[in-house]
Amino acid sequence: MTLTARSAEFANHFNRQAGVSQALARIAQADGQGARTFLKVASGTEKIAAGMDRDARQGQPLPPTAGLIVSIKDLFDIAGDVTTSGSVLLRDAAPAARDAEVVQRLKQAGFIAIGRTNMTEFAFSGLGLNPHYGTPLNPYDRKSSRIPGGSSSGAAVSVTDGMCDIALGTDTGGSCRIPAALCGLVGFKPTAFRIPQAGVMPLSPTLDSVGSIGHSVACCGIVDAVISGEPFASSEAGDGRNPTLGIPTSYVFDDIDDITARTFDRAIARLKTSGVTVVDIDLPELHEIPTVNGKGGFAAREAYLFHARWIAAKRDAYDPRVLIRILKGEAQTDADYAILKEQRVSLIARVTARLNGVDALVMPTVPRIAPTLKELETDEAFGRINLMMLRNPTIANMLDQCSISLPCHAPGDAPVGLMLIGKHGQDRQLLRMAEGIERTLQSPAE
């Protein structure tokens, strides 16, 4: 059930407590997904929901989102909880004194925080594996132990399995959009400056964004409105004009698998039939991104400076596959970092100049369906597939743009994401556009 449908149901039937009880029951199910999905389940949530139901029965006004259930990625401070960031290193750290700003805003809007979700340690991978707490499995094919994607792995599974209505996550290089694509959900990455990051454990302050994962564009749009402090506007408030989308002619289709290619092509064909204009666009600058990030990029440099003291004291506590990525930043000099910032400014300017005439870029979110855990057993395979998954989503973070991943596969097929990358600061326009595209992709095929 979508977030907006749940809002109407709560308003009409005052069953917030029942919704929370059902979510808790799903978390507690014996198949192990709840234990791998949540690092901590919040206490007192049924009491909070019951209080909202009582207030509603007595005629007291409540926010329209009151009683909606949100899971919180383990990067966000919640007063009284330890923010471990999916690590064992921080298990004995002091609890947070206050909620992160975005968590506080959600609570003020009546959202009920059901618990803290599992993630890649310190958010430094797009695959979602966690050797400390286990990896929640992709609901599409659990029998084959397919990964959920990351780093917001538990966030995505908490939504697919009905443990919450919406998930709060972060996105530094695709960490909301990758798991959304692999699990058949919607994942939104806003323009970074729009959402406050106070109380959020950083990976790369230059690239970090606070986003969400949900069943629909409207779900993510409502959460974005709450945490950004901007009014919510659905697609009905748009100008009714069919958008023009640009498909990069190279780079984003490298190493694409047959399932993803066929599914994406069918989706584009449907969009064209519906009146959306789709044009090829040459963006040779995208090929520069791997070279610009050759020494680990912003994430490695900024993560290393943040983690250096912990690495010196407790190096062995880290996931080795995360540690090796952080340590790339050790070799970066101040001069390297200054050049990196200049290169980013240049990339943004040159790509922006090519986007005149298109409303958004469109491409596969990731070039392949979810791999299995077995495929990632070797460090070589892990590193190669991780870079492959991050490649397309990272474009938006490097260019400081907003982006959203929409499911575009047929029911029952392997999940495939269609990603839109909008322009800097035009998040509400992108969300309205995405709602229209979502309707086209979900309408019965002719």
Which residues are part of the catalytic machinery? 73, 151, 175
Q: Is the peptide bond before 228 cis (omega within 30 degrees of 0)?
A: no
d(CA 266, CA 332): 43
Provide the sign of the torsion angle of the four alpha carbons 309, 314, 317, 322, taken in this order: positive
SS3 of the chain: the string is CCHHHHHHHHHHHCCHHHHHHHHHHHHCCCCCHHHHHEEEECCCHHHHHHHHHHHHHCCCCCCCCCCCEEEEECCECCCCCCCCCCCCCCCCCCCCCCCCHHHHHHHHCCCEEEEEECCCHHHCCCCCCCCCCCCCCCCCCHHHCECCCCCCHHHHHHHHCCCCCEEEEEECCCCCHHHHHHHCCEEEECCHHHCCCCCECCCCCCCCEEEEEECCHHHHHHHHHHHHCCCCCCHHHCCCCCCEEEEECCCCCCCCCHHHHHHHHHHHHHHHHCCCEEEEECCHHHHHHHHHCCCCHHHHHHHHHHHHHHHHHHHHHCCHHHHHHHHHHHHCCHHHHHHHHHHHHHHHHHHHHHCCCCCEEEEECCCCCCCECHHHCCHHHHHHHHHHHHHHHHHHHHCCCCEEEEECCCCCCCCCEEEEECCCCCHHHHHHHHHHHHHHHHCCCC
Distances in whole angstroms, Cα of residue 172 to Cα of each of 177, 205, 208, 218: 10, 9, 4, 22
* Distance separating alpha carbons of residues 255 and 311, to the nearest angstrom: 35
Q: Hey, what are 202's tokens?
A: 């950083």
Nearest Cα neighbor of 181 from 440, 414, 372 is 414
Are the CB atoms for 152 and 201 separated by under 8 Å? no
d(CA 45, CA 115): 9
